[in-house]
Amino acid sequence: MAPQPHSGRRRSRWSCWAVRGLAIVLMSLTGGDALSLDHYRQSCPKAEAAVTAAVKQAIAKDRTVPAGLLRLHFHDCFVRGCDGSVLLDSTSNNTAEKDGPPNASLHAFFVVDNAKAAVEALCPGVVSCADILALAARDAVALSGGPSWAVPLGRGDGRVSLVSDTTSLLPGPGATFDQLKQAFHAVGLSAKDLVVLSGGHTLGFAHCSSFETRIRGFPGGSGGAGVADPALRPSFAAALRRACPANNTAKGAGAWMDPTSAAFDNAYFKMLQTGRGLLASDEALLTHPKTRRMVALYAASQGKFFQAFVSSMLRMSAQNQPGEIRANCRRHN
Ligand code: HEM
């Protein structure tokens, strides 16, 4: 019987398989140092619990934190591996990743800072910021009702964070299927990982600029005015246009990624199938018959989505690099 990520004993058995099999195989593919579930067992046994406590505390005050943490981890891993490079602040000599256009709306950095402070109080200089972010992303998913999994640990913190990497390595919201596939392939991830991890868009929010072209950027309106992407359900496009009036300057305007945006579930795939995918990059998953079938599979089965999500997250977050243990996640040592 297929393992059920939400059902206690079966879930942990499945997580074990996923961790031992996938993580080990993938480490050899990415060429990084081997990650291990035991990495801090001697040196900082309470690290993981301290991270979870910091994430819980932040969510209790701010429901947008899980989406912020999950996206932070994705943006970290796609640029120089999961090395905490996205956490570094710009300096007088260097504009860092976090100040690049694709990262303008990243948030929840404070949660990593709080977790790091808690962990440093327990065992100074031992736990990397990259590991803290990987754990926090897992907790963000699990605490939003999604699956949980054991996170292999031992990532190093990088010393390099370049703004120029962000536009070249992070796919944009208007990316085509081929561009998305290429961006994922560049970090050792498949078209299946692309579909599954795009399911992370079950959480959170997008600003109008991220889907402006979809709601009024297509040719065909009277007097040269743009119309909505014909792939969008007309009532959904109309609701998005109301949320994002033309020439609007409201900074916080936008739309939730799916109607249950605080819950980690498979609603994203159901929306996609019914003309209510928000970003062009979401819609792009329907352009290829193979990935369209995957969308249908995950729309029909939340269990299968959860199972696949754990595998793909393990693959994405296994791209580590040797590095230091930063004392402060915002600055290299
Ligand atoms: C496939 C390529 C992807 C593209 C082009 C993409 C693009 C975007 C864009 C444009 C936004 C909205 C940003 C804004 O307007 O503020 C967003 C939000 C988000 N993305 Fe992605 N994304 C992709 C994949 C992923 C993956 C793999 C994950 C995680 C596994 C992820 C997690 C999220 C989350 C959680 C949000 C909501 C953030 C929040 O509310 O703070 N995305 N993404």
* pLDDT digit string, tens, across residues 249-278: 778 999 999 999 999 999 999 999 999 999
Q: Which residues pair with 254 in a beta bridge?
A: 207
Inside any domain, residue 221: yes
**Residue numbers belonging to the annotated binding site for heme b:** 201
Inside any domain, residue 146: yes
62 and 112 within one domain? yes
Rounded Cα distance, 147 and 203, in Å: 14
Structure tokens at 241: 């246009």
Q: What is the CATH number of the domain that holds 203?
A: 1.10.420.10
289 and 204 within one domain? yes
Inside any domain, residue 285: yes
**pLDDT 10s digits, 109-135:** 999 999 999 999 999 999 999 999 999
Inside any domain, residue 64: yes
Query: Is residue 281 lining ligand 1, measured as CB closer than 6 Å?
Result: yes
Comparing 49-53, 216-220, 306-310, 324-328, the range with the smallest average pLDDT is 216-220
302 and 232 within one domain? yes
Q: What is the largest CA-CA distance in the chain?
A: 70
161 and 227 within one domain? no
Inside any domain, residue 333: no
Which band of pLDDT confidence, cut at 50, 70 and 90, is reported for residue 312? very high
Per-position DSSP letters for 8-35, written without gaps between them: HHHHHHHHHHHIIIIIHHHHHHHT-PPP
Q: Is the dihedral of CA 73, 76, 78, 81 positive or negative?
A: negative
Among 71, 98, 251, residue to substitute to test ligand 1 (most atoms within 8 Å of Cβ):
71
Domains in the chain, number = 2
Atom of ligand 1 nearest to the CA of 281: 5
Rounded Cα distance, 307 and 6, in Å: 9
200 and 162 within one domain? no
Rounded Cα distance, 248 and 216, in Å: 13
**Where in the sequence is the domain holding 253, given as residue range(s)?**
196-307
Q: What is the CATH number of the domain that holds 154?
A: 1.10.520.10
